[in-house]
Copies of this chain bind each other. A is one copy, B any other.
Amino acid sequence: MNTLNSTHEPSLTSWIESANSKETDFPIQNLPFCVFQLLDQPPAIGVGIGDQILNLRTCAELGLLSDQFNDAASQTTLNAVMAMSPADRTLLRARLSELLANGTTADKSVIEKSLVFQANANLLMPCHVGDYTDFYASIYHATNVGTMFRPTNPLLPNYKHIPIGYHGRASSVVVSGTSFHRPVGQLSPTEEGGIPTRGPCKLLDYELEVAMFVAQGNELGNSISIADAEDHIFGMSLLNDWSARDIQKWEYQPLGPFLAKSFATTISPWIVTLEALAPFRCREFARPEGDPQPLDYLHSDENSSSGGVDMKLEVFLCSEKMNQQGIEPVKLSSGNFTNMYWTIAQLLTHHSSNGCNMQSGDMLGSGTVSGLTRDSRGSLLELTWDGASDNPVPGSQRTPITLPTGEERKFLGDGDEVILKGYCESDSHRRIGFGTCKGKILPAKVEA
């Protein structure tokens, strides 16, 4: 899957001029998948190209694709495309690249009938997410959070041996641009043995994550080997795992996060394929040389040599006041997906290693992507170091954030919009962007 082919050739350009701009997220080397909708029309599958979308259903209708792809290309979700064999996915990508490349032998006037401007399209959930699993794969995040709650013992003994993960709520995964209300929930009693209260979350946070989507699945009782794992990953998007820290603190023992997370999880609408990411695969990830080797089922040489993805990740915030005053969103942090302790292949292989059946469209979250330095921490909990806690950890450096309006943030306020961005870039290859993942917080609903 990771071998470079002509679709990655940096000199390849498109006859769609906006795709040739150095700044675009969507050059012809990317071709990320999406599901979009035009007014009064049914949803359709597309790929992003510059500032436009190539409508795959229209392509199928116009005879631009090989017949074998017509059914999958005409669906209203990506699940059928995801379920195709790796070889077919490669064929489809090559054909789409061919249609959009300068010098295409296809009739451009026909292809143009399949193009729509992104500005005119409503981007929808890209696929039906059957199951959503969230991992905890950044050792810096795990160490930061562990230090706040267990200063003497931040990293649990299992962390370096087993990719820690838990099941998330699939129904409340929403696409970028969906606003949601601040959740209401039970909050800890103020004194030991006291009665909890119920009210709007006071410690609302984001978590910067990357999502992986399952391509072909496995039957219940089988597992996906580490050597095969990447063939089973269709692509990646950005994910914001909104977290109600106060609700979480009270509810999560002994069975893990529940209502603190299930009110909303936002993903970006574009799924960037592993094929598009091939030039940015790297050795680097956050498992130092001296650390224990993964057990055999999680180990492969290929995985070690190119298990990482050199993907830059950024978080921006825009408060309502900033928005009203026309102030641009401020950058809160920037990190890199190489800060993962576990590779994407290891996450998928571990997940299926007990025979659990993965299905096309299932979503695996990486867990918060945090790096070693303060400016690469992927949540407010870490950035402000438990900033709003009534009982801060002794010795902790509480560092609230001041916005350009003079507003202070320890956690998120009503009207705040959080914007995630992600992109891969290098001197030798075209930029591969993920677009944006946005979500805005509406005030809590007043209860009857």
Contact = CB atoms under 8 A, between A and B. Distances in A.
A193 interface: yes
Interface string A332-356: 0000000000000000001101111
A355 B255 contact: no
Interface string A145-176: 01000000000111001101111111110100
Interface stretch (A117-125, A230-238, A246-254): A246-254
A162 B186 CA distance: 8
Nearest to A178: B220
A280 interface: no
Interface in A36-52: none
A359 interface: yes
B131 A354 contact: no
B167 A356 contact: no
Interface string A122-142: 000000001100001000000
Interface stretch (A73-81, A258-266, A405-413): A258-266
A287 to B, nearest CB: 15
Interface stretch (A271-279, A290-298, A422-430): A290-298
Those 6 A-B pairs whose CB atoms lie nearest each other, nearest first: A256-B256, A167-B167, A166-B255, A183-B354, A259-B354, A262-B356
A221 to B, nearest CB: 5
Contact of A162 (B184, B250, B295, B448): B250
A156 B254 CA distance: 8
A386 B198 CA distance: 37
B356 A220 contact: no
A221 B259 CA distance: 12
Contacts of A355: 180-181, 183-184, 263-264, 445
A192 B296 CA distance: 21
A32 interface: no
Interface in A293-342: 295-297
Interface string A188-224: 0100110110100000000000000000000011000
A136 B180 CA distance: 29
14 contacts: A146-B254, A166-B167, A166-B257, A167-B169, A167-B262, A171-B362, A183-B354, A196-B295, A220-B263, A252-B254, A252-B256, A255-B257, A256-B257, A259-B354
Contacts of A357: 171-172
